[in-house]
Structure formats: C-alpha cells, structure tokens
Amino acid sequence: MVTVGVVGPHDLAASTCELVAAVPGVSAVALPYRSETETADVVRGAPGDVDVWLFTGVMPYEAASAAGLLDRPAGFVNYTGAPLLNAMIQLLRDGYDPSSFSVDILESGQVEETLTEAGIATSGARVLPYRRGLTASDIIAFHRECAADGAGAAITCLRSAYSVLKTETTAIRLAPSIHSVRYAMQQLLVAFGEARSDDAQVAVGMCEVDPAAEADLRREASGLGGTVVAQPDGRFLIFTTRGPLEASTAGFTELPLVTKLGATHGGIRVGFGIGATTAEAETLARRALSRAGRLGDVAAAVSMRNDIDLTLSGNPLRTPRRPSLSLLSERAGLSKSTLVRLQKMLAEQDDTTVTTRSVAAALGVQQRTARRVLNRLERAGAAQSTGRQGLEGSGRPLVTYQLHL
C-alpha cells in the first residue's frame, strides 16, 4: 500500500484525496492549508508514513521544494488541458467571450495549445506563467492590470487570489480534473516504483586492506548494513543493498571507514559496485576498485550502470553542495568544460531548476546523454531530483532537478 500525502487548500485537498484513494493499492492523507504560505509547515507536520507527495498545484510544490522538504517522490497536478477547457465552457455558459481572459500559473505554450485544439482564438488570452518567487499579490496585480486593459474574465489557479478577484470582476478558479489527478498519480507511482527498485539493488564492496584489519572492517561495515566475507586472494567482499549504502554514505559522497582503517592499518582501497544482481554488482565493484587504486593508498569509489563512477571522500564533506569544479569533475567523471557550461546556463536562467531537455539544449547533446550527465551529478551530490513535469497526455514527463554548481 502506497500512502500519498495530498497537499493543498482544504477543498482541493479533500476532493483530490477522494480521487487518489480510488486508485488500487493507494491510501491518501489530506494535508490542507489555509494559505499556500503554510505549505512548508504542513509538509513538516505530515505523518511519517507518507511515501509520496502530491500537491494540488505548482506553487505549493515549489514552496516545499525551496524549503528542501521533497525527500521522497513528489509531483503536482497540472491545470492545463481539461481544467482549462472546463473554464472555457463555464464562460460560454455564462455568456462571456471564451477568447478574452487572463490566466495565471500556466505556461503560454500550454494555454495556446489547449485553446487551438478547442478551436478558440488565442489572441485575447493573457498569461502570467509561473516563476520562482511568484506571490498571490503578484497574481492579483496581474489580473487587475489585464482587466483595466479590457481583458475579460480572470482565471486563476490560486485560491487566495480567487478570494480577492471574485469580489472585483468575473473570476474563475481552476480546479484539478479527474484526468489531471489520475495522470499526476500515474507519474508518482512510476517514480515511487523506480525509487524502491533502486533501493533494492545489490551493492557489493571489494576491499584491499591488511588482513589484520578484518575485525575493524567488520565493525565499520556494520554501519553500512553489510556482511563481510574474506576471500582466498586476501581481499574482502562487503555485501549490502543500495538503500543502506546510499544512506550511510550521505548520498555517495563520503566513506569514513577508509580514513579510519587507513590511519590504523596503513592503507585501504574500497570499490563498491551497484547492480541488479550480485554478479553484476561484483563486476562493477572490480571497476570501482581499479579506479580507487588510481586515486591513492587510501581511497574509495562507487561504480554503477551507465558508466557512472563516483569517488567517495574519506571524511564527511561539510559543504557537499558546492564542491570545487576540479573535485566535482573527478567525482562525477565529467569534464570541467561541461560543468562550466552548466554554470553558465544556471546564471542565464537565474534558477537552479533544470530538466534533461534544458541540459541537452545547453550542452548541445541528445536528451539521452543529458540524462547520463544529470545522473552523474546526482550521484556526486551536485544535483537533486525534485519531481516531474510535462503536458498531460503528451509523452514522457521530464524529471526536474536542482543543480548545485
């Protein structure tokens, strides 16, 4: 059973919960707020058994993301498509021109696509796309300005803005459609399944150390949730799974045992491999150990599929989010020029959120290659997956990341 925490204003949290709870194998917990500014507090106070977050809009989702609270799969309901078409039908029913309105939060391209498919002129649509830091006051001011310029109805995705606008003009509040909620849930369940699959992957560590260090190695390996097995060639194998290893190494950034055992026993090299089977993980462990051997007498590395190799520091990285480009280049296996181009992209967009599509465009590569770059940065501690975005029914949603370069 997957527990979904539904975050949104009271009415939408309740109605969305009903739709979510109807999905087989899913239970829903309503996490309502009175204002979107309370999002962070609501998420912090949520029950500990919540497996995934579903936000009823992008603004609460971004508020939780900015507060660093998205520690598990998360997504939000997209209001284009059916919700926007429902608003057009309501305008027609009430005798208003459906081609003249102002709308917030949505992307201009999404609005134009929806209207074009419905055969509605797009020239009278005025759009305020979502941007980081957008507030209810900004949204209200936008609709007031559009109304003063002759725009028709004000269509808003934000409850607090609707409460004000409905007293001043013709206002419609967008609400999630059944389809949009089901679509968001489908993507969340896929992300949850992928996360669980990753945690269950086999991790095998291959260790070269003085045989006299065996007792100390066993003691330290217990912190990784691992079992140590001595080999005839004098090496040691450490068997565990990805979840405990990733948690105990601070997201594949540090392995303190190499420093502890290195200081006591003169030297130690450790290579961890992560794969779907023990055989695959052991093969990758050999590759990681080879890399560790090139790094020095006291070193550790992790190897994964898709040619992802990471260097683990012996001591905890106190500032893992902003390593030097030289260190990050070594840890992630990426060239400095690639990292510099990514830094330039972030500076130009004044935002740390990226997708495979935006990275591919910035680097001039295919999305497949961009995905590998982001995977490497994520394992190196310089990128964090924050959710998914995409147009309803138009291909695979894009995973969103925050880069720390």
Between 294 and 164, the more confident residue is 164
Q: Is the confidence at residue 353, as pLDDT, over 90?
A: no
192 and 53 co-located in one domain: yes
The pLDDT assigned to 404 comes to 80
58 and 105 co-located in one domain: no
The pLDDT assigned to 318 comes to 37
Lowest-pLDDT range, 81-85, 191-195, 341-345? Answer: 191-195
The pLDDT assigned to 197 comes to 67
Domain with residue 375: its CATH number is 1.10.10.10
The pLDDT assigned to 349 comes to 83
| Whether this model's pTM surpasses 0.75 | no
Percent of the chain predicted with pLDDT > 90: 42
160 and 210 co-located in one domain: no
Q: What band does 27 get if pLDDT is binned at 50, 70 and 90?
A: very high
Amino acid identity of residue 381, one-letter, is G
Q: Is the confidence at residue 172, as pLDDT, over 80?
A: yes
Residue 116: inside a domain: yes
Q: Is the confidence at residue 388, as pLDDT, over 80?
A: no
Q: Can you tell me the distance from the alpha carbon of 50 to that of 4, in angstroms, rounded to the nearest whole number?
A: 6
Q: What band does 394 get if pLDDT is binned at 50, 70 and 90?
A: very low
Please list the alpha-helical segments (H only) found in 205-312: 214-221, 242-248, 256-265, 278-295
SS3 label, residue 395: coil
Q: Are 160 and 135 in contact (CB under 8 A)?
A: no
Output DSSP code: residue 46. S
Domain with residue 296: its CATH number is 3.30.70.270
The pLDDT assigned to 387 comes to 66
Residue 320: inside a domain: no
The pLDDT assigned to 239 comes to 94
342 and 397 co-located in one domain: yes
Q: Is the confidence at residue 317, as pLDDT, over 50?
A: no
145 and 256 co-located in one domain: no
Pairing assessment for the beta strands 398-403 and 383-389 based on DSSP bridges: antiparallel
Q: Is the confidence at residue 54, as pLDDT, over 90?
A: yes
Between 395 and 276, the more confident residue is 276
Q: What band does 393 get if pLDDT is binned at 50, 70 and 90?
A: very low
Residue 400: closest CA among 392, 390, 388, 391: 388
Residue 55: inside a domain: yes
Q: Residue 43 contacts by C-beta under 8 Å, 6 or more apart in sequence?
A: 5, 7, 31, 53, 64, 67, 69
Q: What is the mean pLDDT of residues 178-193?
A: 86
The pLDDT assigned to 327 comes to 67
Lowest-pLDDT range, 268-277, 355-364, 394-403? Answer: 394-403
162 and 188 co-located in one domain: no
Tokens at 9, concatenated: 């204003």
Domain with residue 6: its CATH number is 3.40.50.2300
305 and 205 co-located in one domain: yes
The pLDDT assigned to 3 comes to 93
Q: For 134-165, how does the pLDDT look when each residue is reduced to its tens digit (9 = 90+)?
A: 999 999 999 999 999 988 899 999 999 999 99
206 and 299 co-located in one domain: yes
Domain with residue 124: its CATH number is 3.40.50.10660
Residue 292: inside a domain: yes
Q: Can you tell me the distance from the alpha carbon of 133 to that of 123, in angstroms, rounded to the nearest whole number?
A: 27
The pLDDT assigned to 304 comes to 87
43 and 185 co-located in one domain: yes
113 and 53 co-located in one domain: no
Q: Are 362 and 345 in contact (CB under 8 A)?
A: yes
The pLDDT assigned to 319 comes to 37
The pLDDT assigned to 320 comes to 40
Q: What is the mean pLDDT of residues 340-367?
A: 85
Structural domains of the chain, count: 4
Q: Which domain holds residue 65?
A: 2-77+179-197
Residue 318: inside a domain: no
Lowest-pLDDT range, 62-71, 140-149, 298-307, 371-380? Answer: 371-380
Q: Is the confidence at residue 69, as pLDDT, over 90?
A: no
- Alpha carbon distances (Å) from 299 to 183, 220, 262, 296, 402: 45, 15, 9, 6, 28
Residue 169: inside a domain: yes
Lowest-pLDDT range, 6-15, 106-115, 331-340? Answer: 331-340
Residue 218: inside a domain: yes
240 and 307 co-located in one domain: yes
Q: Can you tell me the distance from the alpha carbon of 380 to that of 128, in angstroms, rounded to the nearest whole number?
A: 36
233 and 258 co-located in one domain: yes
The pLDDT assigned to 391 comes to 45
Residue 317: inside a domain: no
Q: Can you tell me the distance from the alpha carbon of 113 to that of 299, in angstroms, rounded to the nearest whole number?
A: 53
Q: For 198-256, how does the pLDDT look when each residue is reduced to its tens digit (9 = 90+)?
A: 666 889 999 999 999 999 999 888 878 789 999 999 999 999 988 888 877 877 777 88
Q: What band does 30 get if pLDDT is binned at 50, 70 and 90?
A: very high
Exposed e or buried b per residue across 363-372, where buried means at least 16 C-beta atoms within 10 angstroms of its C-beta: bebebeebbb
Output DSSP code: residue 176. -
